[in-house]
Amino acid sequence: MTTTLIPLTGIVLLGASVQWLTGMGFALVAVPALILLLGPAQGVALANCAAGAISVVGLAGGLRRVRLAAMVPLCAAAACTVPAGTWLTHRLPPPYLLLTMGALVTVAVLLVMRGARLAALGGRGGALTAGAVGGFMNSAAGVGGPPVSLYALNAGWTVREFVPNAQFYGVVVNAFSVTANGIPALSAAEWTAVGTAMVAGGVIGTAVGDRLPEHHARRLVLLLALTGGATAVAKGVWAL
């Protein structure tokens, strides 16, 4: 148990710190490492639980800034595609799951880094597209944020506008994903470590956030996510 407990604590601590530091990023940073440590199904399920819990707390101060006109179609579309992602997670062999999840994370991060602007992500249709893709990715790979980030970029949202809406989406889509994927089978000691790491990560992220410029924090999140995605792909290839 100790061999899992220490890295599990470190992964959740890093992911939670990043989430509080930037308003997003727990799944991008933590999922690749969690699926390597716990396996694809358990890693994604834990990421859904942790990211959803952090989003609930983060949303408390920004609920009034949520744009329901955009969030309703995003969340409705996500609800329709979450079951497909769950089905994929439970059907593919582990090496192919690692490849798929690592590739999804890597491609999503590269698109966000490039600041891709896509006509398909404009207006109500764009919200439906981003929500559908995000719901599938969240339940399959634990990473549903990048499509919403791209939608916000194409809609011209500022960071102040984006963060509470991303938190709202995180609460809803992770609730759907937890319902579909279930609760991870962790021991009492592991759950205690996860909870403690999430609280400690909140303290660290909040403290560092006052000193680190936003663009540096964002770059850190993307680089960590890119490294994790590439590592998952490499392990999947090695296991074939």
pLDDT digit string (tens) for the chain, length 240 residues: 567 889 999 999 998 988 887 667 788 788 888 988 988 888 889 999 998 998 888 888 778 888 888 899 999 999 999 999 888 878 888 788 778 777 877 887 787 777 666 666 677 888 898 899 889 888 887 777 778 877 887 787 777 787 788 889 889 999 999 998 889 999 999 999 999 999 999 888 878 866 777 677 667 767 766 776 787 788 778 877
Q: What is the pLDDT of residue 118?
A: 66
Contact indicator for 152, 163 with CB cutoff of 8 Å:
no
**Residue 134 contacts residue 74 (beta carbons within 8 Å):** yes
Residue pair 134/78 in contact (Cβ under 8 Å)? The answer is: yes
User: Do 14 and 30 contact (CB within 8 A), yes or no?
Assistant: yes
pLDDT of amino acid 199? 92
Q: Which of 134, 174, 180, 175 is nearest to 41 (CA)?
A: 180
Q: Which of 151, 154, 140, 129 is nearest to 48 (CA)?
A: 140
64 Cβ contact list (under 8 Å, min separation 6): none
pLDDT of residue 104: 76
Taking Cα atoms as reference points, which of 195, 11, 132, 139 lies closest to residue 148? 132
Nearest to 195 by CA among 19, 3, 8, 7: 8
Which residues neighbour 121 within 8 Å (Cβ) at sequence distance 6 or greater?
129, 130, 150, 151, 154, 155
Give the pLDDT score at 23: 66
Instruction: Decide: pTM greater than 0.85.
Output: no
DSSP string, 51-98: HHHHHHHHHTTTGGG--HHHHHHHHHHHHHHHHHHHHHHHHS-HHHHH
Q: Which helix (H) or strand (E) holds 211?
A: none
